[in-house]
Amino acid sequence: MTKTDAEKILQLLKKTFAMPKWAAAKKEPFETLIMTIISQNTAGRNTAKAFENLSKQFEIAPEALANAKTNQIEECLKVAGLYKNKAKAIKQISRIILERFHGTLRPILSMSFEEARKTLLQLPGVGPKTADVVLLFCSEKPTIPVDTHVNRVSKRLSLAPDNGDYEAVRESLQLLYTPKDYLAVHVLLISLGRKYCKARNPLCKQCPLNMLCPSSNKKPKKC
Ligand code: SF4
């Protein structure tokens, strides 16, 4: 895929989908971190419900969650998958942020991109996608989080290598686009994946990108 073709894809995506309000809204870093941990392997509706349960029970702040009982956090997260692991991670992370970073993620987000990412990745339960979401949405750091939609759609559009892992997909997208567009690339590929480029039955005939897409009307790639 050339940069010119990648740009055509982005322009078409921008014409097709409005940027959702949630993407532009200012996000509180600790809440974003907790929400993204809850969202791991969990559908959006259940993530929102689990976060709502947690918010009703506790202030979403490191001190409150570090001092909460693990079984109380578990109870709030039951609607989400892997809730026991997530509850444990949330409590441990809250304790670390409280003790090592004065109860805020700001010291981490003021580091360079590489250092901030490395520091976030050392927190329990934080993988590359979670770290990248916090860095992009809360600190405008130059990264493109690769969720399940971004991974699948990028590969079908040949924006990323077919067999690429998380880092290969992220790097490929970041080479094709400029940092000012990283947020739009992430958000609009998700919009495309939700509306047209669905995992099992992509709606290629209706898809606005079908003239540009090498996978149009082919059997869906397994990604
Ligand atoms: S044409 Fe089909 S495979 Fe290509 S992006 Fe659109 S829905 Fe996905």
With a cut of 60, say whether residue 11 has pLDDT above it. yes
Q: What is the pLDDT of residues 114-129, one digit of tens each?
A: 999 999 999 999 999 9
Question: In this structure, which CATH number among 1.10.1040.10, 1.10.340.30, 3.40.50.970, 2.40.50.1040 belongs to the domain 25-139?
Answer: 1.10.340.30
Protein residue with least CA distance to atom 8, ligand 1 = 197
pTM here? Answer: 0.91
Confidence band, pLDDT 50/70/90 cuts, at residue 212: very high
* Domain boundaries, given as residue ranges, for the chain: 25-139
Whether 221 shows a pLDDT value over 90: the answer reads no
Least confident piece of the model among 20-29, 70-79, 167-176, 198-207: 20-29
174-to-99, 156, 166, 167 alpha-carbon distances in Å: 35, 17, 12, 10
pLDDT at res. 220: 60
Residue 170: pLDDT over 70 = yes
Select from 85, 87, 63, 66 the least CA-distant residue to 75: 87
- Ligand 1 pocket mutation, candidates 9, 151, 207, criterion most atoms within 8 A of CB: 207
